[in-house]
Amino acid sequence: MKSFHKSPWLIHYDASSCNGCDIEVLACTMPRYDVERFGIINTGNPMHADIFCVTGGVNTQNAPIVKQIYDQIPEPKVVLAVGTCACTGGIFKECYNILGGVDQVIPVDVYVPGCAARPESIIDGVVKALALYQEKHDKMVQEGRGLPEDPSLDEDNDVDENASNDDNSSDENASDEENAS
Ligand code: SF4
């Protein structure tokens, strides 16, 4: 699954954040940190996502939504709790409607503490999430529940594939010339 390392897709959900952590998540996609150069894309569709990134603590109103988004993400998937609120409920923990951290509703794989979490920490968390994703993927393949790695996605094979494409295209050109004559 080498292609995944090049292009993990992430869906970001603001549970009940003060927006501090959300701004830091967005900062990761801006030119200064520019995670898109690694192929990390912030998608709005859970069915296209590999990583579920949640900011803010979970409250009674959004808990079903967090669960619904989690359920819509295909396996394997990893969950990233970004910021102290997402990890534990943070400064909102004692509020009447706050259930606590994201792990009160769904399993969390990586915790990124901080108020607000720094972009460097968030990127570090994504890298850790990718390693866990690979483990989950490999386990699924062993259990016969997932697709094995596609050897054509290997960089070494890309070269061979291009070479064979060139061969095919030159054959095609040759046959075109024969047909023309
Ligand atoms: S951890 Fe801090 S910055 Fe992030 S949502 Fe909570 S209060 Fe806001």
Of ligand 1's listed atoms, the one at least distance from the Cα of 116 is 3
Q: What's the gap in Å between 92 CA and the centre of ligand 1? A: 9
List, chain by chain if needed, residues with CB within 6 Å of any ligand 1 atom: 17-18, 20-21, 55-56, 83-85, 90-91, 115-116
d(CA 151, CA 9): 21
**Per-residue pLDDT, 159:** 47
- Could you state, in order of their start, the residue ranges of all structural domains in the chain? 2-142, 151-180
**Per-residue pLDDT, 155:** 54
For range 15-42, the mean pLDDT: 90
Beta strands in 50-109 (DSSP E): 51-55, 58-59, 78-82, 98-100
Q: What's the gap in Å between 17 CA and the centre of ligand 1? A: 6
The whole-angstrom distance between residue 168's C-alpha and the CA centroid of its chain comes to 36
**Per-residue pLDDT, 152:** 59
Task: Give per-residue pLDDT as tens, 157-169.
Answer: 554 445 444 554 4
For range 92-114, the mean pLDDT: 95
Q: Residue 165: enclosing H or E segment and its boundaries?
A: helix 155-180
Of ligand 1's listed atoms, the one at least distance from the Cα of 56 is 5
Task: Give per-residue pLDDT as tens, 76-99.
Answer: 999 999 999 999 999 999 999 999
**Per-residue pLDDT, 121:** 95
**What is the architecture, at CATH level 2, of domain 2-142?**
3-Layer(aba) Sandwich (3.40)
Task: Give per-residue pLDDT as tens, 131-160.
Answer: 999 898 888 888 887 666 655 555 555 544
Residues with Cβ within 8 Å of residue 101, at least 6 apart in sequence: 57, 58, 81, 85, 86, 87, 88, 89, 108
**Per-residue pLDDT, 58:** 96
